[in-house]
Amino acid sequence: MQSSYGWLKILKLWLGLWLAVGCGKATVETEEQASHHSHLWRSQSRSRVAAGGRHTLAVRPDGTVWAAGYNGNGQLGDGTTSDRKVVPVAVQGLSGVVAVAAGFSHSLAVRSDGTVWAWGDNYYGQVGDGTMSTRRVPVAVQGLSGVVAVAAGYDHSLAVRSDGTVWAWGHNGNGQLGDGTTSARPVPVVVQGLSGVASVAAGNSHSLAVRSDGTVWAWGSNGNSQLGDGTTSDRPVPVAVQGLSGVVAVTAGIFHSLAVRSDGTMWAWGSNSYGQLGDGTTSTRRVPVAVPGLSGVVAVAASSHHSLAVRSDGTMWAWGSNGNGQLGDSTTSDRKVPVAVQGLSGVVAVVAGHSYSLAVRSDGTVWAWGYNGNGQLGSGTTSARPVPVAVQGLSEVVAVAAGGNHSVAVRSDGTVWAWGNNYYGQLGDGTTSARPVPVAVQGLSGVVAVAAGWSHSLAVRSDGTVWAWGDNYYGQVGDGTTNIRRVPVAVQGLSGVVAVAAGNSHSLAIRSDGTMWAWGSNSYGQLGDGTTSDRKVVPVAVPGLSGVVAVTAGGNHSLAVHSNGTAWAWGHNGNGQLGDGTTSARPAPVVVQGLSGVVAVAAGYDHSLAARSDGTVWAWGSNGSGQVGDGTTNTRRVPVAVQGLSGVVAVAARFYHSLAVRSDGTMWAWGSNGNSQLGDGTTSDRPVPVAVQGLSGVVAVAAGGIHSLAVRSDGTVWGSGSNASGQIGDGGPTDSVTTPALSLLY
């Protein structure tokens, strides 16, 4: 993967510098641009980038539009519904564009000839072409000319014409089109009673307009007082926002509104549950209140539950919801008053998307931060790792385990280290803070084996005791309670343990006498005690099994290998994951059909693997992503051979993907790959095994929910796949970027 510096050359090659939007640098206008002179260009200077629900748009100085992020409704305008998570794509067939706007799943553009073009989701007619058909490429909005500004709400659209009238189309269930009705409109209708309008803004289901006399008018949904008229009554025609004059700019979040006055002060009203009004409280405000501590404001933006402002000194400030780092202050803590966005200066424009933010600097570069799961930051990555990267700071590792979104490792000195998601304390460091690099699990030494469930962790010490920590809702920690444990506690009543396994919410152990023990969730009989009773908060024996030499746990099922080479299974069986030829749940162990010479087993969410002593791998159960590895996506109720593998010495599985290590130290993967968890450099699912790129000397593997880990013979750990919670452990950016990072959009 290229570094952000490596992208700079690409950035300059195809995006250029933003010189045509009043940045104070000389540029040569085209004949078309000159013909419209500077008025239109100045009026659009803050509309050349736009952030939608999960997609982003930008206008280049040559008038073309580029897009990145989610594309399920064609909102990127490239003729497909394929997400663009790596680099932006050109919107088809558009030139001479001077402004863009982005709704949740649709997009708008104004051309220099005053026409409006739209594409994306059109369920309510928000594209404005007279239909309700989704559009994957831009189409002309009917009946509009002389347009100077546009705005897009969740699923409605607004336009201002040069004569000062406002036109609206799309969803109208709360009166957000301002035509006096609540009827959806697939073509533009005039907003009643407004003239002399200079700019507009659109929230989730409400609309705002600034008139040339400095007054603000609002209409549509008002359940959170976002119209600022002192009530909570919806308004199907515009009403005046109380107590505001001299306003020069407005913006709208989902349920709140912001305004900038000509004296540079900021005013806010509406919902305030995350502090998005910036007044130091979380109280809803029915009329505008001043945002304290801000002066000299020249630009604002709002989306979802956060707010942004640019001051005349080029600094940027943010407040409100911050769970994905969208405030850019290097934390994920909500802020009730404005805080400075770190590391940015010379900012001239801002936009806010759903849980992410963008800024344009005076040098023409675009910077982005916040949630990036759909690639909407345009940074050339979604932070998943398409090929293995080294985990930072770990050496001499002898074993690894991967949970839903966390990872655990044992070093040769018997210490345990963990990284990734930590919401339930599954990292065992005494906190609930996510860790993008490994941290030591507290109070453990002499550890010889580990296991990781969806959000809990297990360890076996050399004295045969088992220790557990993390989520304990179903008693999967095994300490006799259902209390979350942020540091390891002893599992009650177990000794002489030699191996452990962890499913979604249940745990398994093998004792040195070959008996099996289980605890935690049991709704499908996955504990194997003949019942489906939950709340087994201490281990219970799995009856009828002895001579067990290996064990694994899937989503809600369990597998064991007997010393005679047979495999046994119990628990959930809706997809045939028990391999007994049925789909009936089994609360007690049954033999897996047709297998002998089994030496190892692995379990995904609802599929299973077995490695035989002859080096072949067999699989069964759910196969929608190709995780069975037989070249099909057909569910298999009994084991079938995984294609093309021989000499296999270890297997792993989680959720919907599978891994194997061959005796030559190579690693192979198959199944679901939407987050690059197969490590083959792509995001394409694989119904047969493919080689994991760039790894040799592999001695152990682990599969997480949507990530994979490998231990090499030199004791280093490598990971690929999603890094949304830091579970890869390379210290690099996760899906949420908490300080600004350079975007490719300009």
At 339, which helix (H) or strand (E)? Answer: strand 335-340
DSSP state of 605: S
Q: Rounded to an integer, what distance in angstroms lies between the CA atom of residue 627 and that of residue 404?
A: 17
Beta bridge partners of 267: 259, 290
Name which residue leads in pLDDT, 127 or 738: 127
pLDDT tens-digit readout, 151-170: 999 999 999 999 999 999 99
Is 80 exceeded by the pLDDT of residue 11?
A: no
Overall residue count recorded for the chain in this entry: 746
Structure tokens that stand for 697 in this block: 């000397």
pLDDT tens-digit readout, 373-390: 766 676 665 566 666 767
Structure tokens that stand for 738 in this block: 């908490």
Structure tokens that stand for 307 in this block: 């707010």
Confidence band of 740 (pLDDT split at 50, 70, 90)? low
Q: Residue 445 in contact with residue 467, Cβ under 8 Å?
A: no
Any residues with CB less than 8 A from the CB of 199 and at least 6 apart, and which?
A: 43, 149, 160, 209, 210, 249, 250
Q: Rounded to an integer, what distance in angstroms lies between the CA atom of residue 516 and that of residue 143?
A: 73
Q: Rounded to an integer, what distance in angstroms lies between the CA atom of residue 320 and that of residue 301?
A: 12
Q: Average pLDDT for residues 703-723, to the nearest whole number?
A: 91
Residue 406 backbone dihedrals phi, psi, to 5 degrees: -140, 165
Residue 639, classed as helix, strand or coil, is strand
pLDDT tens-digit readout, 521-555: 999 999 999 999 877 899 999 998 999 999 999 99
Q: Rounded to an integer, what distance in angstroms lies between the CA atom of residue 631 and that of residue 627?
A: 9
Q: Which of 612, 621, 528 is nearest to 565 (CA)?
A: 612
SS (H, E, C) 63-123: CCEEEEECCCCCCCCCCCCCCEEEEEEECCCCCCEEEEEECCCEEEEEECCCCEEEEECCC
At 500, which helix (H) or strand (E)? Answer: strand 497-502
Q: Residue 335 in contact with residue 705, Cβ under 8 Å?
A: no
Confidence band of 737 (pLDDT split at 50, 70, 90)? low
Is 60 exceeded by the pLDDT of residue 700?
A: yes
Q: Average pLDDT for residues 350-367, to the nearest whole number?
A: 81
Q: Average pLDDT for residues 138-146, to the nearest whole number?
A: 97
Confidence band of 664 (pLDDT split at 50, 70, 90)? very high
Confidence band of 1 (pLDDT split at 50, 70, 90)? very low
Instruction: Please report where in the chains the tokens 């659109």 appear, as a residue.
Output: 202
Instruction: Please report where in the chains the tokens 């979104």 appear, as a residue.
Output: 405
Q: Which of 185, 179, 266, 269 is nearest to 232 (CA)?
A: 269
- Strand segments, DSSP code E, in 203-296 are 206-211, 216-220, 235-240, 247-252, 256-261, 266-270, 285-290
Burial 320-339, CB ≥16 within 10 A → b, else e: bbbbbbbbbbeebebbbbbb
- Strand segments, DSSP code E, in 604-732 are 607-612, 617-621, 636-641, 648-654, 657-662, 667-671, 686-691, 698-703, 707-712, 717-721
Confidence band of 24 (pLDDT split at 50, 70, 90)? very low
**Start-to-end C-alpha separation, the chain:** 20
- Predicted confidence at residue 25, as pLDDT, reads 25
Q: Residue 357 in contact with residue 326, Cβ under 8 Å?
A: yes
Is 60 exceeded by the pLDDT of residue 3?
A: no
Confidence band of 82 (pLDDT split at 50, 70, 90)? confident
- Predicted confidence at residue 384, as pLDDT, reads 62
Confidence band of 290 (pLDDT split at 50, 70, 90)? very high
Q: Residue 276 in contact with residue 242, Cβ under 8 Å?
A: no
DSSP secondary structure letters along 262-279 = TTS-EEEEE--TTSTT-S
Q: Average pLDDT for residues 450-473, to the nearest whole number?
A: 97
Q: Which of 718, 724, 612 is nearest to 400 (CA)?
A: 718
- Predicted confidence at residue 725, as pLDDT, reads 83
Q: Rounded to an integer, what distance in angstroms lies between the CA atom of residue 746 and that of residue 743?
A: 7
- Predicted confidence at residue 402, as pLDDT, reads 92
Mean residue pLDDT of the chain comes to: 89
Any residues with CB less than 8 A from the CB of 139 and at least 6 apart, and which?
A: 117, 118, 119, 127, 129
Q: Which of 297, 299, 291 is nearest to 351 (CA)?
A: 299
Q: Rounded to an integer, what distance in angstroms lies between the CA atom of residue 552 and that of residue 611?
A: 13
DSSP secondary structure letters along 348-364 = EEEEEETTEEEEEETTS
Q: Rounded to an integer, what distance in angstroms lies between the CA atom of residue 467 and that of residue 459?
A: 5
Q: Average pLDDT for residues 459-466, to the nearest whole number?
A: 97
Within 10 Å of residue 695's Cβ, how many Cβ atoms?
19
Name which residue leads in pLDDT, 33 or 745: 745
Amino acid identity for residue 563 in this structure: S
